[in-house]
């Protein structure tokens, strides 16, 4: 159960950062580095960021950004499949 709280908290923080980056882009101000956004995706928020990219129309046309995001998603899927294959439960 702790894992789900962790993913929820990381996802909320990441969504706020992503939305904030969108607002900063509109105002032509200093942006949140992509390294930070990708780090939060690696930490577990990739499942929220991908839909958010298309909902708020942010970074969804930037190939260099979204291919890394989809690669992170693939890593998460592979990780989940490996965990399930070996019977490791996330409680």
- Read off the pLDDT of residues 6-52 as tens digits, 9 standing for 90 and up: 999 999 999 999 999 999 999 999 999 999 999 999 999 999 999 99
Torsions phi, psi for 26 (to 5 deg): -60, -35
Domain spans of the chain, in order of start: 2-85
- pTM here is 0.86
Q: Which residues contact 20 (CB under 8 A, 6 or more apart)?
A: 32
pLDDT band at 89 (very low <50, low <70, confident <90, very high): low
């Amino acid at each position: 159960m702790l894992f789900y709280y962790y993913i929820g908290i990381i996802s909320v923080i990441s969504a706020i950062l992503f939305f904030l980056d969108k607002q900063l882009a509109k105002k032509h101000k200093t942006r949140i580095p992509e390294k930070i956004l990708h780090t939060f995706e690696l930490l577990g928020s990739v499942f929220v960021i991908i839909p958010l990219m298309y909902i708020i129309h942010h970074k969804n046309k930037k190939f260099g950004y979204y291919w890394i995001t989809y690669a992170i998603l693939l890593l998460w899927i592979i990780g989940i499949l490996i965990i399930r294959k070996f019977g490791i439960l996330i409680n």
